[in-house]
Structure 1
Amino acid sequence: MTDGTRNLVLVHGAWHGPWCWELFVPELESRGWAVSAVDLPSTWGDPAAGMRDDARAVRDHLAAIDGPVTVLAHSYGGVPATEAAGPAVERIIYLAAHMLAEGESVITPLGGPWFPADADFAPGPDPEQALYPDVPDDWTRKAVGLLRPQSAKAFTEELTRASWRTIPSALVVCDDDLSLPGLFVDRAIAQGMADVVRHLPGGHSPFLSRPAELAELVGEVTAALPVVG
């Protein structure tokens, strides 16, 4: 990249939107990143929107950026990021995120589906504890109020490609995560899906609970990942 710009694209998880990065983006920008965020259609309230629509949104967003990109994907966002990441993506950081193989969907390792294909999912009966157990109270209240329905189709559409096979990738594990089932983390590590694995203390949403610490980790992880070519 000739001008020294470091592009970072953020892909949010289920029920969320670009609002979730509000505390995180300034920390990244202060460390020299040019940051932008994708808004995934599967959280817009349309049950017909699925993972492939989300992947298309990620792909279109990446195509509009001049120069190489690092992608940071949170939770479910790891799935469309895996589907969409192409040659311009230098690295993928999976933040408490699903790392899946070709032919898998979110519910494949869990033995599903067990719900109607046209369903919308609410974020569960206790999102405060599942998603934000260590987030300050004011932001927890704000975040819960901003959560949106999530289409079930996003969890059932299968990957056609697994870009972590060819793009250097890191997995950031949140040690007290109550949202991402541990089997996804365990098998990603056991199968060597990630080139680099790092741990953060705390729950599922460190972009709200410890944004400065997460931004520092992003810099450390990108430096640790191998360079292709």
Structure 2
Amino acid sequence: MTSAVHSKPAILLVHGAWHGAWCWEKLVPELTALGWRVATVDLPSASADPDNTAGMYDDALAVRACLDGIEGPVTVLAHSYGGLPATEAAVGVPKVSRLVYLSAFQLEEGDSLAGQSGGQLPSGDSGTLPAPDDPYTYFYADAAQEDADRAAERLVLQTVKSVSEPLTAAAWKTVASSYIVCEKDAVLPPVLQEAMAARADRSYRLPSSHSPFLSMPAELARLITADAHR
């Protein structure tokens, strides 16, 4: 790899529950065009296997393994549930220069997704959760129908264990962080996002539903890039 490539900023994209690295397919070329080196990760807790028992800590190990393979300072952008393994994985990793939470869970150590759900999510070491019955409304309300259809067809199961395991540390307390509030989000109400965004060093807003990487990838890529240049 040449020094010219090394001079480009690096970003690792961490997807949310029920999704996979495929969800970034419209955002990756936008970031690449703006000069980023882009890496993605498939979290093991999201799988079509109903017997899957991978948890949040397994996801964090997968994120950490990806970070180990990236040279230079790295921005980690996490979406939704992905905020937990990203927060866990970035602890004590000097090369992580910034955490970006995209309508993501920016939580305190000791917190889990199940613990934050008010009893709406089960907890335990086994079992899986299906995606919402209406992913169009929850995830892709402002995406093009073709993109929404393609994404909905690829959703998989999410393990109960992943939403049950609590953070052991919170990387955002030692790593600079930004939060992007999605103003039309039906999964994480903006008021909840804003409460978590108060933990970040700075925050931004997009007039999008839960998945701006599908509905407005160019705008999202420009925002990520502008934030990195501040």
TM superposition score category, shorter chain reference: over 0.9
Give the aligned partner of residue 148 of structure 1: 156
The 1:184/1:156 distance shift into structure 2, 3 A limit, reads: farther
- Of 96, 99, 110, the match for 1:103: 110
- Of 49, 52, 55, the match for 1:47: 52
* C-alpha contact (below 8 Å) 1:47/1:153 kept by paired residues: no
Q: Percent identity?
A: 46
Give the aligned partner of residue 4 of structure 1: 7
Aligned length: 222
Following superposition, the deviation at residue 179 of structure 1 comes to 1.0
Distance (Å, rounded) in 1 between the aligned partners of 2:160 and 2:191? 20
* C-alpha contact (below 8 Å) 2:139/2:209 kept by paired residues: yes
- Of 204, 208, 218, the match for 2:210: 204
Larger mean Cα displacement after TM superposition, 175-184 or 7-16:
175-184
**Structure 2 residue 32 is matched with structure 1 residue 25:** no
* Aligned amino acid, residue 21 of structure 1: W
Query: What TM-score do you get using the length of structure 1 for normalisation?
Result: 0.92
- Give the secondary structure class of the aligned counterpart of 1:107: helix
Give the aligned partner of residue 69 of structure 1: 74
**Structure 2 residue 209 is matched with structure 1 residue 187:** no
* C-alpha contact (below 8 Å) 1:98/1:184 kept by paired residues: no
Distance (Å, rounded) in 1 between the aligned partners of 2:52 and 2:161? 7
Distance (Å, rounded) in 1 between the aligned partners of 2:145 and 2:182? 20
Query: What TM-score do you get using the length of structure 2 for normalisation?
Result: 0.92
Give the aligned partner of residue 227 of structure 1: none
Runs of 5+ in structure 2 lacking a partner? Answer: none
Give the aligned partner of residue 169 of structure 1: 177
The 1:138/1:99 distance shift into structure 2, 3 A limit, reads: same
Give the aligned partner of residue 98 of structure 2: 91
Following superposition, the deviation at residue 119 of structure 1 comes to 2.1
- Give the secondary structure class of the aligned counterpart of 2:113: coil
Distance (Å, rounded) in 2 between the aligned partners of 1:43 and 1:198? 28
- Give the secondary structure class of the aligned counterpart of 1:150: strand
Following superposition, the deviation at residue 186 of structure 1 comes to 3.5
* Aligned amino acid, residue 107 of structure 1: A
**Structure 2 residue 86 is matched with structure 1 residue 81:** yes
Runs of 5+ in structure 1 lacking a partner? Answer: 225-229
Give the aligned partner of residue 41 of structure 2: 38
